[in-house]
Amino acid sequence: MTISAVHNDRPWFQSVMRGFRRRCPHCGEGKIFAGYARVADACDQCHEEMFHQRADDAPPYFTIMIVGHIVVPGLLMMERSFAPPTWVQMSVWLPMSLLLTLSLLPLVKGAIVGLQWSLRMHGFGGESDKV
Ligand SMILES: [Zn+2]
């Protein structure tokens, strides 16, 4: 069995998108989280084990990168176009940053767990989960 044959049963894009939708990367039906952003130990539909995930700091890193690429250009364009007072900028972009961060974080974390599952990382491939 070749390496590509091993990985074909877990297409990475499908797994990432299922995780992004906060669904189990294996079946796409069960919930990946047991709370806001706490990964469930196992899928509630297909019982695929999820506790192998090691997303660690990657979800906040990518979330900050995405939010920064939305908020900073928006703030600069608003400043250049309208030059509003600082309190207006703060009242728009601080809540926007908070809302974007809190809404994107679980989606990005789900996508990363889906990618880890697809690539059989950290015990998702059936081997022992060495820490
Ligand atoms: Zn499942």
| pLDDT 10s digits, 47-78 | 988 888 888 899 999 999 999 999 999 999 99
Residue 109 contacts by C-beta under 8 Å, 6 or more apart in sequence? 19, 37, 39, 55, 59
In a domain, 79, yes or no: yes
Q: What is the spatial distance between Cα 54 and Cα 116, in angstroms, rounded to a whole number?
A: 8
In a domain, 59, yes or no: yes
Residue 33 contacts by C-beta under 8 Å, 6 or more apart in sequence? 22, 39, 40, 106, 110
User: Which carries the bigger pLDDT value, residue 9 or residue 85?
Assistant: 85
Q: How far is the CA of 64 from the centre of ligand 1 (A)?
A: 28
Q: How far is the CA of 16 from the centre of ligand 1 (A)?
A: 14
- Provide the number of structural domains found in the chain: 1
Q: How far is the CA of 94 from the centre of ligand 1 (A)?
A: 37
In a domain, 4, yes or no: no
Range of the domain at 53: 10-118
Contact 119, 53 (CB under 8 A): no
What is the per-residue pLDDT for 130? 58
What is the per-residue pLDDT for 55? 84
Q: How far is the CA of 9 from the centre of ligand 1 (A)?
A: 14
Lookup: tokens for 26 = 């294996």
The answer to whether the Cα torsion of 86, 87, 89, 94 is positive or negative is: positive
Q: How far is the CA of 12 from the centre of ligand 1 (A)?
A: 15
Taking 70 as the threshold, does the pLDDT of residue 120 lie above it?
Answer: yes
C-alpha angle 25-107-76 in degrees, rounded to nearest 5 = 150
- Percent of the chain with pLDDT strictly greater than 90: 69
Residues with C-beta atoms within 5 A of ion ligand 1 = 24, 26-27, 30, 43, 45-46, 48
In a domain, 1, yes or no: no
In a domain, 65, yes or no: yes
In a domain, 5, yes or no: no
